[in-house]
A = this chain, B = another copy of it.
């Protein structure tokens, strides 16, 4: 019963580390540090299965899903778990155990930060 340790919805440590990292890619050349941080996020989405799992979580009702909701991508359960772990490590998902299941949720600030990277600066077009 006491596993209801309320989700720190914004996971300050994990998310903060990756989210507001970099200017738009078109603004100025990235430094090595910025590139390291941003590449980690892009790499996490650079796998078809991970991308499908991510969009399954992101588009699921309420913006969260448990493994039981999203295993429909044609790979084994351990593989699903492996990919979800990678997405968590990249700061793209957060998770919370509730009873039997672990629920995954998209970290909107990271998604927004990645979107910002891909903004086309007016000067560059």
A residues sitting closer than 8 Å to B (CB atoms) are: 6, 25-32, 35-36, 38-40, 42-52, 54-56, 58-59, 63, 70, 72-74, 106, 108, 111-112, 114-115, 118-121, 124-125
Contact = CB atoms under 8 A, between A and B. Distances in A.
How many monomers of this chain does the complex have?
A: 2
A47 B55 contact: no
Contacts of A112: 118, 120
B27 A48 contact: no
Given A25-B54, A39-B51, 6 more contacts: A6-B125, A28-B59, A32-B73, A59-B124, A106-B124, A108-B125
B39 A46 contact: yes
Contacts of A42: 42-43, 45-46, 51
